[in-house]
């Protein structure tokens, strides 16, 4: 990030990206954008935006909510319904704090960083 007091955003998002998109296998297929204006030093929440498969018919707009207080990352897809956009929660770094009942991610969880140890989606 460009401003030192925004480092917390990177610290929460980076482990999620490394788990979901291991560089050896697959890189994240889109960029995430911070708001244009720098965050307030006391900010506790930020929304990042991205577009998966930009310029294609199956492109998906993403909104990533990062909570400093809860230490969570939630990923939403924007879906269109009746000329309106709605958020669909597709991932949460902590299923216990999720706003939906997401499918737990099973498997070997021992080497995971704390920020994603209880992930779902």
pLDDT of residue 55: 75
pLDDT of residue 115: 56
Q: What is the DSSP letter of 40?
A: P
- Give ∠ CA 73-27-100 in degrees, rounded to 5: 30
For 40-86, write each residue's pLDDT tens digit: 999 999 999 998 877 777 778 889 999 999 999 998 988 888 888 88
Judge contact between 77 and 93, C-beta under 8 A.
no
Give the C-alpha separation, 101 to 90, whole Å: 10
The H or E element containing residue 90 is strand 84-92
Biggest alpha carbon–alpha carbon distance for the chain: 44
The pTM of this model reads 0.75
pLDDT of residue 103: 61
pLDDT of residue 69: 93
């Amino acid at each position: 990030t460009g401003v030192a007091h925004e480092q917390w955003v990177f610290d929460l998002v980076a482990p999620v990206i490394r788990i979901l998109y291991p560089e050896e296998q697959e890189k994240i297929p889109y960029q995430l954008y911070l708001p244009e204006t720098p965050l307030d030093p006391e900010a506790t929440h930020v929304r990042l935006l991205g577009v998966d498969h930009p310029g294609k018919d199956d492109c998906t707009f993403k909104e990533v909510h990062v909570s400093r207080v809860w230490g969570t990352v939630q990923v939403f897809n924007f879906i269109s319904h009746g000329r309106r956009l709605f958020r669909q929660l597709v991932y949460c770094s902590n299923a216990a704090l999720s706003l939906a009942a997401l499918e737990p991610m099973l498997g070997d969880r021992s080497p995971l960083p704390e920020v994603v140890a209880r992930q779902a989606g």
